[in-house]
Structure 1
Amino acid sequence: MIPRKPIFPGVIELNFQAGEVLGCNLYLVYDQDEWVLIDIGYEETVDDFINIIRELDFPLSQCKTLIATHADVDHIQGLAKAKQALKTSVTAHPNAVEPLQTGDKLKTLAEIEAQNLNLEMPPVEIEHQVSDGDIIRVGNLELEVWHTPGHTDSQLAFRMGDVLLSGDNIYRDGCIGAIDAHHGSDIKAFIGSLTRIRDSDVKWLAPSHGPIFAKDNAMLDRVIGRVEGYLHMADFGTLADGWPLMDQWDDEVAQGILPEGLQTPAS
């Protein structure tokens, strides 16, 4: 048995516990002998994480469920393997069920042809579906489920007291989860989720990548302002509301306007 290094009472982050980053953040939430694991990462690291859990003296048979924060391959590729090893169930948002149960490579971003990326995406049965406001009980602990869409349509966060296990919503450096139409991103929804986090009274954010950090409303204000700008940028294509430059171009074409200093050549 190795000493447990909880980051909060009842919460162990397995990369921090191991002293090395093996993949996305995995949160083991426990009370008494019962425990759940939030995300599992890639298939190749499943055995490493299970060995850590075993060395921490958590009974493998007492894993209540494996929880998917959302259906992106870097978070859930190892679900089928871990489920079989632990003989437990899988819990996810309803929007994650179809891509996880079918092993949808496109929506999980396991396959991006233009980047020559082609990962296996083993399908896995989802026994439990949770939505906003549901409670997941672990011993005497309660995880309040938040549906925080934007990065994906299935993104979940989990509140426990003054801690929010915040998924891919926001990171310490002010970055946010990737915005990509293929896996269900929605800029307006993202703004709503970030606003909800900012306006909450949680004190600590424990994201799915990178270090845990104290919630900083001034930083969140800056991020929300930046993301609001994405609604009017061609950078985000079909996910943007519009591109104001094209409205300006319509007017300039109709009025025959060229930039100052540039004149239409005489015919």
Structure 2
Amino acid sequence: MGAVPLLDSVWLVGSGSHPDALTDPHDCHCYLIWDGSGGVLVDTGTGLGARAWLAAVAEVCDPAALSGAIVTHYHADHAGGAAATRAAGLPVLASAETAAALATADESRTSLAAARAVGVYPSDYRLAPSTVDRVLAGGDIVRAGELDVEILDAPGHCDGHLVVLLRHAGRTILFSGDCLFAGGRVSLQAIHDCRLDRYAETVNALAGREVDVLLPGHGEPVLRDALVDIGRAAESFRRLVPPPNVLTS
């Protein structure tokens, strides 16, 4: 297991499903943006696979050269590794909502208690509290070496969700967290802060961004013509019909 190159300057360094980047079955996809002089991470997994995830990063670069780790949202499979990230000396960057939830490891706000109760996480798994070193909001720019990484607000799947936009080598790459997935699918859950109206606004806005590559938090990447997938979800929302759900019973 280790770092899997996906694109020029982009690696998959952690995953709950990719056979070559597997860190822990409960982890999301964790990405590394690295241009040879600097970089940034996108999402931190649950923390259960933190040692393997950090080792994969070290295969590509010196972690000390990174600007930190952007956490797209506060669900445990994306944010649970924030404490381990800080323990490794890397700053954590996230929205104000995620910062507030991580500060107290709030298992109600993050829906972890509900998810653990139905078997999504091990019965003994707990969210480790973590400080967020930089609070992000839509329009902010994070430097990754010579690259500019743009932050976009993307609520809907949950409050405070962010997505990450990278323009590099003539391509526009969207790191979508749990907002959008291959095939134009979305992630709808019966939790307190999954909001269809906000989700529709988010996806419709992203459909206007001319995205070429979609790198989601789970499942298959879309390495070309990703705007087709995003447009499919947006068109469904415009008809007032939720797009297909990546989550199944």
TM-score when scaled to structure 2?
A: 0.81
| Deviation, structure 1 residue 44 | 1.4
Q: Is residue 40 of structure 2 the alignment partner of residue 41 of structure 1?
A: no
| Match in the other structure for 1:220 | 233
| Match in the other structure for 2:241 | 229
| Deviation, structure 1 residue 97 | 1.2
Overall identity of the aligned pairs, in %: 23
Q: Is residue 126 of structure 2 the alignment partner of residue 102 of structure 1?
A: no
- The change in CA–CA distance for 1:169 and 1:3 in structure 2 (over 3 A counts) is closer
| Deviation, structure 1 residue 3 | 9.8
SS at match of 2:101: helix
Large movers: runs of 4+ above 4 Å: 2-5, 15-18
Pick one of 127, 131, 135 that aligns with 1:129.
135
> How many residues are matched?
225
Q: Distance in 2 between matches of 1:31 and 1:218?
A: 30
Which stretch has the larger CA shift, 44-53 or 209-218?
A: 209-218
Paired residue type of 1:14: V
Q: CA RMSD in A?
A: 2.4
User: Which whole-Å deviations, capped at 9, do the CAs of 1:86-135 have from their partners, x for residues lacking one?
Assistant: x1211001111111111001122221275266530110011101111111
Query: Where in structure 2 are the equivalents of 1:178-189 lying within 5 Å?
Result: 178-182=188-192, 184-189=193-198
| Match in the other structure for 1:158 | 164
SS at match of 1:99: helix
- The change in CA–CA distance for 1:158 and 1:114 in structure 2 (over 3 A counts) is closer
Larger radius of gyration: 1
Higher relative contact order (CA 8 A, sep 6+): 2
Paired residue type of 1:170: L
* Alignment check: 8 A CA contact 2:44 2:80 kept: yes
* Alignment check: 8 A CA contact 1:92 1:128 kept: yes
Flag structure 2 segments of 5+ consecutive residues without an equivalent: 243-249
Pick one of 57, 60, 63 that aligns with 1:60.
63
| Deviation, structure 1 residue 219 | 2.0
TM-score when scaled to structure 1?
A: 0.76
More helix by share: 1
Flag structure 1 segments of 5+ consecutive residues without an equivalent: 231-267
